[in-house]
Structure 1
Amino acid sequence: MGKCKKIGILTSGGDAPGMNACVRAVVRYGISKGCEVFAVYEGYQGLVDNGIKKMEWKDVRGFLSIGGTNIGTARCMAFKKREGRLQGAYHLIKSGVDALIVCGGDGSLTGADLFRSEWNSLNEELLKTGKITQEESDAYKHLNIVGLVGSIDNDMSSTDITIGAVTSLHRICEAVDSISTTALSHSRAFVVEVMGRHCGWLALAAGIATGADFVFLPERPPNENWGDALCAVAHRHRQLGKRKTVVIVAEGAIDSNLKPIRPDDIKNILSERLGLDTRVTTLGHTQRGGSPAAFDRILATIQSVEAVDAVLNSTPETPSPLIGMNNNKVTTGPLMKAVELTHEVADSIAKKDFARAMELRDPQFADEYEAYTASTIMDDSTMSIPQYRRLNVGIIHVGAPAGGMNAATRTAVRYCLNRGHKPFGIYNGFPGLARGNIEELTWIGVDGWTHRGGSELGTNRAVPGENTDMGTIAYQIQQHNIQALMIVGGFEAFSSVINLEAARKQYPALHIPIALIPATVSNNVPGTDFSLGSDTALNAIVESCDAIVQSARSSRRRVFIVEVQGGRSGYLAVEAGLASGASTIYIPEEGVNLARLQSDSRHLMAMYMDDAADKSEGRIILRNETVSKTYTTDVISDILKDEGHALFDSRTAVLGHIQQGVNPSPMDRIRATRLAKCSIDFFEKHTSYALDQAYRSKSPAPIELTNATESAVVVGLSGNCVTYRPVTELIAVTDMKNRKPLDAWWMVHRPLVDLLSGRGLFTPEAQATLSRDI
């Protein structure tokens, strides 16, 4: 049998929310794989000063909800010199550590790879000077390095997103949303500076998510007359009735001549040229702080698991890998290649090769920039299409409310107006449409909708052809000359599109392009990885679970059974379970029975028996609302309490509509903006042929604008791409009875919930023994 693998985990560079989730996952997954895991405290300084401590399972309790890094990070000038690295190598060898997982930015990861490249010579020097024995030298000939990117700027190439970036975006949006209310009250302008020396992701994402009037980014600098463009946009928005002006500027913003654009420069222009009462707010390090968002907890956890596996699979010949995220999948690639590409962005900007800088960002960046510009900057001419191609676009919400519905509507309305289309809001879903409750929407009428939760248009679960007469729907569409229909909603909306497409044979008025933007907390619409509202719901659940865990911990030996939504899909339970550190979860895909409950009660008893008497933990279990009619939340709580033999108490918490009722998360706002813009583009594509034909023949626009089955689609997200999947094609991959896709990409995360909570830490035999000893 080979020797036990000893892995070090180190956090370095600027702290990022989610780093603690990395440490927790590396420690617990490493232990589950038979490894010993050591934390290196204070970053590279800990290597130099021998701040290396062996970690036990319990040492990382509570880490998920804590921002920053509990094992510390520090600038270390000593490690930049060979003497410092020699000292670091000595301490690692003496500790028996021959693998390092480093979570940090490009500078930290470059330092790690340099350390590895020098390892042989460092080892030889330590042997020659007698600091290590020949046996130690032979045992630690090689050092494996694996990189994780912890950076709030999202500035690393070769990965779509970095650990900490989404939480930082949350902090920015919370601040800007708050600033917006005072700006509105006083009719002020605010210039908000956010981090991002060489990367404008935070500024762009915040601009989209808060509905900012203007953004300044390093990758897309304006020309030297940017003040004119800024004033034109701000003045136009004010003319349309907007009472506030918000400008977001990245700290590394420049113009096309590489001259820095400072917040005070923007303030002076707005004050002097437009007479606006303008204030500057620099958010600074508040952007790094706070509890990690659900997204970052999950991202850090699944990437750290992959990092441990990469350590175990590495050979001396394997280049140091970087764990990234591409197309919604964890990926492994050469670390130094990613670092080189990251540096190339800054080099391209310095050379004024801004097109190359944009190419080096992930494809989503360019798409989102285009969506922001198209929906935010009111342009009277350059974005308009010919008169004969302009459409009357209907927008309708269907199903339960979900975060992002209003953001999608706002983007669709403003992009429609910029293109020359007429947007019409349909109130109260299909019953409202049947009654002709339709109203033309205006640019200023949807102002401020980006950050509003729920549905401003009103939503309804009725499905045409089932709860609402299809003939009446077709009549109203023809009567109001609706030429394209954007539906925002969940599985009822999906069923509606299926029925509308099928009814085209009977009703010519339904021969129009129909786009469904999935919006449901359950994330159960086929044709997309994520539905609008699902990220908002996850954050609501995780925040609630953090509070519940705090209560449970204060009461010591207490388990909470937390009921979450999700319909027949376990998505929310699985992802929230991973993000909140749940002891286990109950989902429809697996079901629940008495044997499972007995096993879980034994596991809980084993964990509580292992706790220190006066330091026992509170724990939570997540239960999907539809997992069982017999084993309700209360029944499960009572069973576990009874089976626990007074070792622990049990309580219940039903989160209910809290999961739907909060303001949409930044991720949901951004996804909504992108998908809405793409939906309008889709309408133009599928009506252009019929409208061109009518124009050439000097005929009025036909009622039937399209006959193609691929003109009734789900506009969804697949990885970092937007896809347009016909509903006729999606039926085959959908469980219509249980209202969810047949394929659930997130189920690969399911085993991690139990594993990282301690399942497997105790063998069934040990659990049985502990149970008998009660």
Structure 2
Amino acid sequence: MNAAIRAVVRATLRLGGQPYAIHEGWAGAVAGGVAIRALTWDDVGGILHMGGTVLGAARCPEFRTREGLRAAARNLVQHGIDRLIVIGGDGSLRGTEEFRDEWPSLLEELHEEGAITAGQRQAHRALTVAGLVGSIDNDMAGTDMTIGADTALHRILEAIDALRSTAASHQRTFVVEVMGRHCGYLALMAAVAGAADAVLIPEDPPAPDWPDALVSRLRASREAGLRDLIVVVAEGATDSTGRPISSHEVGEVVTEGLGGEGARVTILGHVQRGGRPSAYDRWMPTLLGYAAVQQVLHGTDIPAQVVGVRNNRLVPLPLATLVRDTTAVKTSVEQGDFAAAGAARGRSFSGLSEIVAELCAPPRMPGRLADPRGAAYPPTPTRAPRRIAVLHAGGVAPGMNTAVRTLVRSTSVTGDVVLGVRGSVPGLVAGRVAALDWADLGDWVGRAGAELGTRRIVPDPDQAAQIAETLVREGIDALVMVGGIEAYRTAAVLHQARVAHPALAIPMVCVPATIDNNLPGAELSIGADTALNTITAALDKIRMSASATQRCFVVETMGGPCGYLAMMSGLAAGAERVYLPEEDIGIADLADDAERMTRTFEQGRQLWLAIRGEQASEHYSAELMTRIFEKEGGDLFDVRQIGLGHVQTGGEPTPFDRLLATRLARAALAHIDHELTTGEASTCYVGEVNGQERFTPITQLAEDLEPMVDRPRSQWWLDLRSIGSVVSDRHASSPVVGVPVTDGS
């Protein structure tokens, strides 16, 4: 929420308006006085990294009364306020809509009783409202993500990962309860990203005999070799008859059913709401806050709007429609229409809810015709099991292991086999190929690095012949390459070599995995979100280190020829200046930055944060920039150069990267299944573009890349590049521009 508050305040100031804070929610509006105060630029400095909300929040029964509504309206009008941005959940936004509808009559009553003048009533005859949804439950229909949900998933996954090591050590089962009274988003995503063995959510309730099915499933997983078992329960879980299912009841069922093996129940509670916000919960609310300001300044004659998110794009959504649709989802759950409720949660939710049972299911074993949840396994294929090889190529990216695990989990219920190629392309040339065991990959979902190994090597034509021999010898039917641009170029070489080596004519799919986020056909690559969070955490520490002195930091990020990491970390950390490879840097730019930097330090600035993409300029290195700023600053401020280096490639993958890896690996498998069924054998790369899976022929690779540069010709995030300076540096000369907002189609 603080990122949104900061953006609202600073965008308002840059657009010539006066922002006000209303503390403690509607209670502050009703109370007035010191609860409503004007804000300055510096009032919202240093809050990006803070959890919670600096404005405070409180329930206000008085706001539900006519007297309370009149008091709130009077206090707003007396401050000259008739444009309102509300950041909250379903209840807050619902109250806002009612307040807006009643505004004209409230002002009429206030005028009649002499609380406001005729001039005030006329000047503020309409209340213009924009809403931003802040809810960790992600329970608002119409928007993909609400402010806070990504951070809550971070907290949940940190807990599940920690519990898993204990569970494995002691061969124990943990039942983890997460928030979600009416919405199972957190539970479902945590179950997929945390490799849970079962999940219970309101939108997909089990039959009344769920205890037997659950115990059977967990016992089968234990027999298949798993030492650690995790069951995730949403706090609002019920069975199909509507009877509540508590985490303690699940713990008792598991303890009794597994022969006295004690299940441990962990209720995460309000820890899910706390802590530092994730990188996403900084840069996206920054865009949302900026767009909301534009909405209330330029949309005075339209109904109240909520600025939502769909496929990483901002969309204006009628507040009344969102409130109605959100209520309808709850009604669908109460009436037992679970399919409608799941569909209303959005594409990501409905897609993962369809496959979570498969990802949680123990492997198909001889004589087992149904998975222990009660659903039948797919019919036993009359064909021989398909043999699908997977390898990594390019630099390491967090989430690579998740993709491999998803392939193994998904094929285990169909009876197919996934072969792991050790050592990347050289390993495929040498034939270092072996089947991957279901149980051995139990904790790969959260492992850092790439267990199969990866290299930045592209095969030459001679090696293509050796790879063809490996495919024949191992009976490989399809190949999945998870990695960066080297994986794509490897696929191109093998595709071109098909004429000389017919054994290479098998389905091949490249899955994008690189922190650089520089691959065509995909808006986001596996690993980029983890790197972005690592950078943001480092920048937080750098910012705090400048609290005792005046200092400029020049921080260099990775990313190669793509400025995604530099750009988005700048938004997430509030950097004053970002230097991108996509933009030309000249001496005039550096001179202007040095002059502005010096002037603002003279006015009392403590910190200037400049972020440079590692290939931002061939001539102006981070060292040279540091020396220029040092020379211009003299004794006024210090300048420090920091290169974050390979720390950006490490760390356990974030929830987003785990979920993205799961979706893309599943998409690759579905494509391979279609091709093998129809007898086709294409070579392509998969990605998500505008929320849809897209498969692009490898022959289009050269056309999709910029000439002589390993980055896509079109990059969606570049449209956001001027927003950072608008909300981070009051003296920036960047034009005040609009945030791209789609029509939601």
TM-score category of the 2 structures, normalised to the smaller one: over 0.9
Matched, 1:102 2:86: yes
Distance 1:558 1:486, change over 3 A: same
In the TM superposition, what are the counterparts of 1:11-30 in structure 2 within 5 Å? 19-30=1-12
Residue 638 of structure 2 is matched in structure 1 by 649
Distance 1:384 1:304, change over 3 A: farther
Matched, 1:755 2:726: yes
Contact 1:575–1:749 (8 Å) recurs in 2:
no
Residue 343 of structure 1 is matched in structure 2 by 327
Selected match of 1:594 from 569, 575, 587: 587
Q: Which moved further from structure 2: 754-763 or 634-643?
A: 754-763
The structural deviation recorded for 1:323 is: 0.6
Matched, 1:119 2:103: yes
Matched, 1:575 2:568: yes
Selected match of 1:607 from 600, 604, 613: 600
Residue 258 of structure 1 is matched in structure 2 by 242
Distance (Å, rounded) in 2 between the aligned partners of 1:421 and 1:355: 30
Residue 534 of structure 2 is matched in structure 1 by 540
Matched, 1:192 2:176: yes
Letter in 2 for 1:191: V
Distance 1:385 1:552, change over 3 A: farther
Selected match of 2:704 from 712, 729, 733: 733
Matched, 1:307 2:292: yes
In the TM superposition, what are the counterparts of 1:511-526 in structure 2 within 5 Å? 511-526=505-520
Letter in 1 for 2:9: V
Selected match of 2:418 from 403, 412, 423: 423
Letter in 2 for 1:629: E
Contact 2:536–2:569 (8 Å) recurs in 1:
yes
Distance 1:384 1:426, change over 3 A: farther
Distance (Å, rounded) in 1 between the aligned partners of 2:311 and 2:551: 40
Secondary structure in structure 2 of the residue aligned to 1:724: strand
Secondary structure in structure 2 of the residue aligned to 1:487: strand
Distance (Å, rounded) in 2 between the aligned partners of 1:542 and 1:104: 25
Contact 2:422–2:428 (8 Å) recurs in 1:
yes
Contact 1:170–1:293 (8 Å) recurs in 2:
yes
Residue 12 of structure 1 is matched in structure 2 by none
Distance 1:389 1:46, change over 3 A: farther
Residue 475 of structure 2 is matched in structure 1 by 481
Selected match of 2:75 from 84, 88, 91: 91
Deviations 1:440-485 (A, max 9, x none): 111012110000011000001111227x721111111122111110
Contact 1:559–1:649 (8 Å) recurs in 2:
yes
Deviations 1:137-160 (A, max 9, x none): 111101101110000001000101
The structural deviation recorded for 1:730 is: 4.1
Contact 1:64–1:580 (8 Å) recurs in 2:
yes
Letter in 1 for 2:644: L
Residue 270 of structure 2 is matched in structure 1 by 285
Deviations 1:253-311 (A, max 9, x none): 01000011111111111111112221111000000000100011111011111111111
Matched, 1:719 2:718: no
Contact 1:375–1:412 (8 Å) recurs in 2:
no
In the TM superposition, what are the counterparts of 1:108-257 in structure 2 within 5 Å? 108-257=92-241
Residue 559 of structure 1 is matched in structure 2 by 552
Give 5+ residue unaligned stretches, structure 1: 1-18, 691-705, 765-774
Secondary structure in structure 2 of the residue aligned to 1:161: coil
Distance (Å, rounded) in 1 between the aligned partners of 2:457 and 2:732: 49
Deviations 1:193-219 (A, max 9, x none): 000011111001111111111100000
Contact 1:384–1:418 (8 Å) recurs in 2:
no
Matched, 1:527 2:521: yes
Q: Which moved further from structure 2: 414-423 or 428-437?
A: 414-423
Contact 2:27–2:59 (8 Å) recurs in 1:
yes
Distance (Å, rounded) in 1 between the aligned partners of 2:734 and 2:433: 63
The structural deviation recorded for 1:607 is: 2.1
Distance (Å, rounded) in 2 between the aligned partners of 1:333 and 1:45: 26
Residue 672 of structure 1 is matched in structure 2 by 661
Contact 2:224–2:362 (8 Å) recurs in 1:
no
Q: Which moved further from structure 2: 635-644 or 534-543?
A: 635-644
Matched, 1:44 2:16: no
The structural deviation recorded for 1:529 is: 0.8
In the TM superposition, what are the counterparts of 1:268-279 in structure 2 within 5 Å? 268-275=252-259, 276-279=261-264
The structural deviation recorded for 1:384 is: 4.8
Secondary structure in structure 1 of the residue aligned to 2:514: coil
The structural deviation recorded for 1:756 is: 1.4
Secondary structure in structure 2 of the residue aligned to 1:504: coil
Deviations 1:655-680 (A, max 9, x none): 10110011111110111111111211
Distance (Å, rounded) in 1 between the aligned partners of 2:493 and 2:547: 50
Selected match of 1:619 from 600, 604, 608: 608
Contact 1:387–1:420 (8 Å) recurs in 2:
no
Secondary structure in structure 1 of the residue aligned to 2:378: coil
Q: Which moved further from structure 2: 166-175 or 270-279?
A: 270-279
Matched, 1:364 2:364: no
Distance (Å, rounded) in 1 between the aligned partners of 2:732 and 2:712: 34
Secondary structure in structure 1 of the residue aligned to 2:38: strand
Secondary structure in structure 2 of the residue aligned to 1:567: coil
Residue 15 of structure 1 is matched in structure 2 by none
Distance (Å, rounded) in 2 between the aligned partners of 1:583 and 1:505: 54
Contact 2:14–2:730 (8 Å) recurs in 1:
no
Deviations 1:680-717 (A, max 9, x none): 11111001023xxxxxxxxxxxxxxx35xxx2121211
Matched, 1:34 2:29: no
May I ask how many residue pairs the two structures share in their alignment? 721
Letter in 1 for 2:574: G
Deviations 1:368-418 (A, max 9, x none): 123322222125341355131631000000011001100000010111121
* Identical residues among aligned pairs (%): 41
Contact 2:518–2:710 (8 Å) recurs in 1:
yes
Matched, 1:507 2:492: no
Distance 1:680 1:389, change over 3 A: farther
Distance (Å, rounded) in 2 between the aligned partners of 1:752 and 1:671: 26
What's the C-alpha RMSD, in Å, of the aligned pairs? 1.4
Distance (Å, rounded) in 2 between the aligned partners of 1:185 and 1:420: 30
TM-score of the pair, normalised by structure 2: 0.95
Deviations 1:62-115 (A, max 9, x none): 111001000100011111111111011111101011110001011100101111
Q: Which moved further from structure 2: 750-759 or 254-263?
A: 750-759
Selected match of 1:443 from 438, 443, 446: 438
Selected match of 1:491 from 477, 485, 488: 485
Distance (Å, rounded) in 1 between the aligned partners of 2:477 and 2:713: 33
The structural deviation recorded for 1:572 is: 0.4
